[in-house]
Structure 1
Amino acid sequence: MLMYHGLRVRCIGRAGDLLMAHPIGLAHLSAMELEPAALIDLAADTGHASVALRLHSAAAGTPVYPMVPGSVETLALRDYAHSRGIAISEIELVPITHNLAPDTLRPLLQVAKELGATGLIVTGDIDDRALLIDRFAAICKNAAAHGLLVHLEFMRWRAVGTLSDAREVVERSEQHNARILVDLLHLARSGGTAEELATLPPDFVNLVQICDATAELQGDIIAEARGGRLMPGQGALPIQDMLSALRGTWNAALELPGMGEGDARRTALAEARAQVEKLCR
């Protein structure tokens, strides 16, 4: 059992071998209305090890908290996170679209480096697979110069909608820092299984976003993803099977919007983190 920012976690691989510790982070979607410093406070108050920050617009009309490289605000946020014992793990969320020029992300990548982040989260939104792979590879190359991994997140309603799609893009990009982000809700809703996860090479997944959900989709899939997730153990997803299927070393993050505000949310997120620890024993 290892220590990471004061949190002790261990997970057992599908063959029963003890893997590296999996620190539990907090995704910004869990409290999108909070500015980065307030999210850091929430993570610290609920026993999380790290945060992923929404510094790039994921969709029109959704909250975003852009930062300027080298600014007083950026460096102050880095220092504040350190003072609270919270790592800034990833910067999100960049949709790879026809209109996105990879070089325009250089300021964002510099901010990520200054904050001490280790990864950039992206989605695939170009139907032309060859063009998408070319753009993804270019982003990976730029990110590598800043010491960052690039986590490709698949979602059923996007061009990269399944684990198989994401695997193809990562494999064909041939970039050493390309990874797949596995969100357990998106895996389930796109027809993915623990058995499919078990076929991935050990170094393909570095980040897993955890929540629970009903067995079948009830209502709109995007609305569910953004506000209809359930706490681990309150739904029907085979969370433990999914986590146990993963090989290699990976980090876990709770993504739980809709848990209320104030004390109610703090209690819910602390309980959810504790439940994930139990699943990982």
Structure 2
Amino acid sequence: MSRAYSLAYLTGNGVDPVTAVGLAADHGYDMVSFRLLPAGPLDNIHPLLEDDRLLAEVKAAMRATGVTMADAEMIRLNPATVLDDFTPFLDRIAELGARHVLVAVDDIDISRVQDNYTALCDKLGGYRLTADLEFMPWTGVKDLATARRIVETANHPAAAVLFDTLHFDRCGSTLEEFAALPTSLMNYVQICDGPAPYDTSDAALVQVARTARLIPGEGGIDLASIAKFIPQDMTVSVEVPNHALADRIGPSEVARRALAATKELLGD
């Protein structure tokens, strides 16, 4: 079974959602990701959640190209989370045909995180969506072991771990932990390369993750070892935000090169 490839939201390097669908279709991606909720207070995103005209244009582009929506970004769980606040977001992405929701955690109270995440799984299950919990070293869920524990404790069909090669490389988790992660706990993986050596401060980790990832093969992450444990039929989200590179060669060429390098890495 051949794997599907998705153009991650950040790989668009700022293009609007309609253009992102076009880039995906032009370069051979099967799917695309959209961000409808911001990653932070300074995250300037396109108004796909509120703008009905933009929604219609995106749906038309998807119908015309055959590109489908893989995942939606993002739900952030924090101490003040009210899950019902996400209902408009979930209604919108369900209309777009999304399969998965990227979930991040801004809370250090793991007991509360567990309760909120499990309740979120219940809510998403009603939409036939999954809650893909991403571990990031500067967040409340810092590593693979923590993410796996939360997902397994939830014990819900919608619960899953989101594995990102950059965060894995930076968080201290081991290849043995990834190899031992049941494939049933994953729906897709995010692949990129990253600079080495690197600044370990939270601010620098965030900056690289959001604006300066590298195309596979151009950085210092041992992607070849990681790739051995990615199932043949696992959907791959190609996530290469690199604003400097996009300014130089254009977002379309970044998307093309990133997919070509990822396919070469995985032998596709």
Counterparts of 2:178 and 2:9, CA distance in 1: 25
Which of 212, 215, 219 pairs up with 1:231? 215
Alignment of 1:145-160 (within 5 A): 145-160=126-141
Matched, 1:215 2:196: yes
What amino acid does structure 2 have at the position aligned with 1:246?
A: I
Give 1:70 shift. 11
The answer to whether 1:265 aligns with 2:251 is yes
Please tell me the residue identity of whatever aligns with 1:267. Answer: E
Task: Pick one of 224, 232, 241 that aligns with 2:225.
Answer: 241
Cα 1:206–1:41 change in 2 (3 A) is: same
Q: Is residue 197–residue 246 contact of structure 1 (8 Å, CA) maintained in 2?
A: no
Query: Deviation at 1:210?
Result: 0.8
CA distance in 2, matches of 1:263, 1:221: 24
Shift in Å, 1:99: 2.0
**Relative to structure 1, is the Cα distance of residues 214 and 179 closer, same or farther in structure 2, using a 3 angstrom cutoff?**
same
1:141–1:70 Cα change, 3 Å: farther
Q: Any idea what SS the aligned residue of 1:260 has?
A: helix
Q: Is contact 1:28-1:52 (8 Å) kept? A: yes
What's the Cα RMSD here? 2.0
Shift of 1:205: 1.3
In structure 2, relative to structure 1, the CA distance for the partners of 1:98 and 1:248 (3 Å cut) is: farther
8 A Cα contact 1:69 1:114, kept in partner: no
Unaligned 5+ runs, structure 1: 1-19
Whether the 8 Å contact between 1:203 and 1:249 is mirrored in structure 2 is no
**Cα distance in 1 between the residues matched to 2:40 and 2:100:** 20
1:139 pairs with 2:114: no
Q: Tell me the residue number matched to 2:239.
A: 255
Aligned residues: 262
Matched ranges for 1:122-133 at <5 A = 122-133=103-114
Query: Partners in 1 of 2:16 and 2:57 — Cα distance?
Result: 14
Show the 5 A alignment for 1:1-281.
Answer: 20-68=1-49, 71=52, 73-218=54-199, 220-247=204-231, 249-258=233-242, 259-261=245-247, 264-281=250-267
**Cα distance change of structure 1 residues 24 and 217 upon mapping to structure 2, 3 Å threshold:** same
Letter in 1 for 2:102: I
CA–CA separation in structure 2 for the residues paired with 1:47 and 1:119? 21
Q: Which consecutive unaligned segments of at least 5 residues does structure 2 have?
A: none
In 2, distance between residues paired with 1:112 and 1:262? 32
C-alpha distance in 1, partners of 2:105/2:215? 27
Cα deviation, residue 89, structure 1? 0.9
CA distance in 2, matches of 1:269, 1:29: 10
Q: What TM-score, normalized by structure 1, do the two folds share? A: 0.87
Following the alignment from structure 2 to structure 1, what is the Cα–Cα distance between the partners of residues 121 and 52?
25
More deviation in 25-34 or 152-161?
25-34
CA distance in 1, matches of 2:118, 2:233: 23
